[in-house]
Amino acid sequence: MERTYLMVKPDGVQRGLVGQIISRFEQRGYKIVGLKMMQIARETAEKHYGEHAGKPFFTGLVDFITSGPVVAMVVEGKDVVVTAREMMGATNPLKAIPGTIRGTYGVDVGRNVIHGSDSVESANREIAIFFKPEELVEYGRAIDTWIYE
Ligand code: UDP
């Protein structure tokens, strides 16, 4: 089963959206296999967002993502990487389709509420940055036969 790295950003935590955001993935049928609150160290944030180093928004992005607690999770299920991105909506919330997470809760690109891995490779890289292997839990759910045919 595929896994992705999702993170409610500091704006989502401050605005009390953690429960509603987690609920969307649970209700879709996806399984949470890792979950924690943390405040990201600057060095870790720079590594996570390494592909954006040098871009004009990079320093502000690192300032923002380290400015308060985030809620990090690893979510598992069929095609979860692409599906979670669709559920999140476009990077710029003003361009995000209403009903998506960003299209429901966001306005500005620098306050877009949630992060989600953009590929399976990114997911593996990001999961390894934020979670130790022993923090990920393997378990079955009785309901899985009602979600997967
Ligand atoms: N970002 C920003 N200004 C920009 C572009 C991106 O503040 O002009 C931030 C935004 O929070 C975004 C993050 O940088 O979520 C990472 O950008 P990316 O293009 O990877 O978007 P994502 O994968 O998060 O949709």
| Distance from the alpha carbon of residue 91 to the mean position of ligand 1, in angstroms | 6
Tell me if 28 sits within 8 A of 128, measured CB to CB.
no
Closest residue to atom 8 of ligand 1, CA basis: 57
Q: Is the ipTM of this complex over 0.95?
A: yes
> What percentage of the chain reaches a pLDDT higher than 90?
100
Start-end of H helices in 73-143: 80-88, 101-105, 120-130
Q: Which atom, in ligand 1's list, is nearest to the CA of 85?
A: 25
pLDDT, tens only, 29-68? 999 999 999 999 999 999 999 999 999 999 999 999 999 9
**What are the tens digits of pLDDT across the range 58-106?**
999 999 999 999 999 999 999 999 999 999 999 999 999 999 999 999 9
Phi, psi of 148, deg, nearest 5: -110, 135
Does 83 carry a binding-site annotation? Answer: no
